[in-house]
Amino acid sequence: MEAVNRALAKRGFELDIERLQSLERQRKETQVRTEELQAERNRQSKNIGKAKAAGEDIEPLLSQVASLGDELKSRQTELEAIQEELHDFLREVPNIPHTSVPAGGKEEDNKEIRRWGELKVMDFVAKDHTTLGEALGLMDFEAATRIAGARFVVMRGALARLHRALIQFMLDVHTNEHDYVEVNVPYLVNPDSLFGTGQLPKFAEDQFYIEKQDLYLIPTAEVPVTNMARDTIIDSGKMPLRYVCHSPCFRSEAGSYGQDTRGMIRQHQFEKVELVQLVRPDDSYRLLEELTDHAESILQRLDLPYRVVVLCGGDLGFSAAKTYDLEVWLPSQRRYREISSCSNFEDFQARRMKARWRNPATDKPELVHTLNGSGLAVGRTLIAIMENCQDEDGRIHIPEVLHPYMNGVTVIE
């Protein structure tokens, strides 16, 4: 238990060991007494049958069984309450970080692994994507505000087509070259699905909730795609399962402020192409590296400079055991910004979802390991292209790999 507490401390979480041990002790004691009462009641019930067959007075036995039944009911109620309290306690405990996760409590403590690409030399002041898009008349935040409110955008013409081209390009690469199966999933999910992947209960305020149907708009395709395995046992011969899914994503972005609220960096609605893998535990860290390579390949083909960082314990997501962030270069900000997070959740999500595979070595069901990463966030990829491929006149030069998807358009002007 102390080792677990030390590991969780790496991510700034203090496990209340005393409370956990107290709850577990109460659970065991109450469960033992409940089982004893059940056994005693069963024994006395059999004695009633024997006494009745022998013509003996059974009233004392009936009274005793009734008394046992009252205490048993009380103990069962007590046990349910303790189990619920223990469940509530444990569901607030985040995943244990992998031993390779660096210590630290903030973004600055993340460790850079590598960089790719040369930063483009611009002999003019780089404009941000908002200025570029509005100047071209293809990005309209005012119209989106009238339609919905702040943190939405309307895209028109060639820019809308470029956004769509990116989605198709990413799907084509991942299905044709990386062996992912494309899936189309519901954009509304039930609370169990969000609990399974770790968004509930901790991040309830970040979700868009539809009370009448008790459904949530998905914050990422990770939720419905991973939950395809909920309450199932996967055939080992079919693993690893690899899925790719394009979807809109909806987040309330509670508490976000500052520069990121301008433009498309942090919106209530955005789109991603998501990669999800369900894998054997022994393969999960090797496949995390492979999944990260798959996401990186999109940036490389678009010739967008980026870096890879491994998140420190304090910056790690609630469900993740280890995460690599891909950060693309944005000239207007003179910094790298996150465009994908590639994570290994080990069996954390699988335990919450009861997602298992049958191990042929034991012929018994065991928990799978789950992986996911954006391959990529479409809006942020669009932003990166606009800013890195702009010229002094505000035109956007479309990366060559996207030309076949753009119906002959190579420059947006």
> Among the options 75, 151, 242, 251, which is catalytic?
251
Edge-to-edge strands of the sheet including 209-210? 188-189, 215-217, 209-210
> Among the options 75, 242, 266, 352, which is catalytic?
266
Residue ranges of E strands in 135-281: 139-140, 154-155, 181-182, 188-189, 209-210, 215-217, 233-234, 241-250, 269-279
> Residue 252: phi, psi to the nearest 5?
-75, -20
112 is catalytic: no
Q: Which helix (H) or strand (E) holds 344?
A: strand 335-344
> Among the options 280, 338, 351, 358, which is catalytic?
338
341 is catalytic: yes
In angstroms, what CA-CA distances link 175 with 168, 169, 300?
A: 10, 10, 17
d(CA 177, CA 184): 19
> Among the options 341, 343, 356, 387, which is catalytic?
341
380 is catalytic: yes
In angstroms, what CA-CA distances link 63 with 37, 38, 48, 67?
A: 15, 16, 11, 6
> Among the options 161, 242, 356, 380, which is catalytic?
380
Contacts of 302 (CB under 8 A, 6+ apart): 381, 384, 385, 399, 401, 402
Instruction: Transcribe 364-377 into DSSP letters.
Output: EEEE-EEEEEEEEE
d(CA 160, CA 382): 10
d(CA 314, CA 105): 4
Q: Which helix (H) or strand (E) holds 72?
A: helix 59-90
256 is catalytic: no
Q: Which residues are catalytic?
A: 251, 266, 338, 341, 380
